[in-house]
Amino acid sequence: MKTALVYSDAYGRFDYGPEHPLRMERLGLTWRLMQAYGLTALPNARVHLPEPATEQALALWHTRDYLDVLKAANGGTAPEHAARCGLGPGDNPVFPGLWDAARLCAGGSLLAAELVASGKATRAFHFAGGLHHALPGRASGFCYVNDAVLAILHLKSRGLRVLYVDIDAHHGDGVQHAFYEDPEVMTISTHERGDYLFPGTGFVEELGTGAALGYSVNLPLEPFTDASVYLPAFEEVVPPLVGAFKPDVVVAQLGIDSHRTDPLTHLELDVQGFARAVARIVELSPRLVALGGGGYDLPNVARAWTAAWAAMNDVEPTAELPVSFAEDARRYGFRAPTLWDPPERPAGAKRLRAEAYVQRQIEAIRRLIFPIHHL
C-alpha cells in the first residue's frame, strides 16, 4: 500500500480576512503536527506539492462567466457582478489572491485523484480541499470552486465508479447537486439537520432523480449528536450502501466542524469518534481520495486531520502530543497536550433526543433507498 499527502505552504499566503471563521493557518498547523508525529516521513508515504488547476479544468463544471468574475477578484477588489456570484461581505469575501487560492485548492484535489487513479497511491489526502458548497456559477459557504466535484469528474473520466462520503457537519449540497441525476456516482452525506444549519438542505427525501433515484443519500442529525449515537448510525447506513454500490474508489470529505467545541455547529463528536469514522471509511474503500472540509476550532482541525492521516497509514499515534509541538500547542491554545479529547458524559435527555431522531432517519433511508439497491 502506498499513500500520498498533498500539501503546499503556499496556502498560508491567503487570508479570508481577520473576522472570517475560516483561518487558512489551520493548514500549516495541521502540517506541523503531522511533522511532529513523524507522519510526513513514513516509509510508504509520499508528500506531493500541488500545482494550480488550469482554467480549462475548472470549466469542466464551473461556468465561464463565473470563472471570469473569480479571476477579476484576484486583486482583492470586488468586480462587477460579484454579488450576483455570491461574492462580497460575509461568507465569501473578496480577498487578494482569491483566484490563485481557488486554483491551488482545485489543483491539489485533482492531483490526489490522479495519484489514486494512476495507481501511484492507494490512498491520498488533500486536507486543504473539501470545499463542497460551491455551485457551477456561484460561491457558497466559504467555497469558491468545488474541488470535490472536480476530483470526482476526473476519476469518472478514468473509468472509475465513485462513491462520495461526506462527514462534515454541513450538508454536501454542491456535490449532491452535481451528481443528482448521475447513477454512476453515489453521494452519502451525514450532517446536522438542514432546518437548523446552513445550507438548509440534506433531508432524507432528497433521493436523486431519474435513473439516479436512490443514489443521493442523506443522514441528517439532531444537534448534540455525539459519537455514541453517530457511529452506530453511520454503521447502519454507510457500509450496506458501499457494499451494494461497489465503488472502485471512495472520495471522502472529512470536515471536523462536527466537533463538540466547534463555534459554528451544534454536533458533539470528539476527535476519537471522528477518527473511528475515518478508520471505517478507510476500511470500506478499495481506493481512497480524502479531502478536508470544515473546522473552525484550529486545535480540533490539527488533531483530527493528523489522526485521519495516521488512520490512512495504519499508524496508531501516541496520545501525548510530541514535545516538539509544544510551542504551537501553547500559541494556539490547545486545551490539553493530547491528540484525543478527555471523556465527557453525554447529557441524558439530549442524547436520547439525538438517538430517537437519527433512528427515524435510518428507518426512512431503509424504506426509501435500501430497496432500490436490493438491501
Q: State the catalytic residues.
A: 133
Q: Which three cell numbers stand for residue 139?
A: 460561491
Can you say how many angstroms the Cα of residue 65 is from the centroid of all Cα atoms in its chain? Answer: 27
Instruction: Give CA separation, 167 vs 1, 24, 87, in Å.
Output: 24, 20, 26
Q: How far is residue 12 from each of residues 28, 178, 288, 336, 364, measured CA to CA in Å? A: 7, 29, 26, 25, 43
Helices (H) and strands (E) counted in the chain, each on its own, are 11, 8
Report whether 320 contacts 282 (CB < 8 A).
no
Helix (H, G, I), strand (E, B) or coil at 27: helix
Q: At 14, is the secondary structure helix, strand, or coil?
A: coil
Local structure of 259: helix, strand or coil = strand
What DSSP letter does each residue of 338-359 carry, written as one string?
Answer: BSSPPP-PPPHHHHHHHHHHHH
Q: Of 228, 318, 223, give the one whose Cα is nearest residue 262.
A: 223
| H or E element, residue 64 | helix 64-72
User: Closest Cα partner for 229 from 352, 347, 349, 343?
Assistant: 352
* Measured CA angle at 230 (ends 229, 231), to 5 deg: 100
Instruction: For residue 30, give the C-alpha cell.
Output: 495541521
Report the C-alpha gap between 293 and 70 in whole angstroms. Answer: 21
Q: Cα 265 to chain center, whole Å?
A: 15
How far apart are alpha carbons 218 and 203 in whole angstroms?
A: 6
Are 112 and 2 in contact by the 8 Å Cβ rule? The answer is no
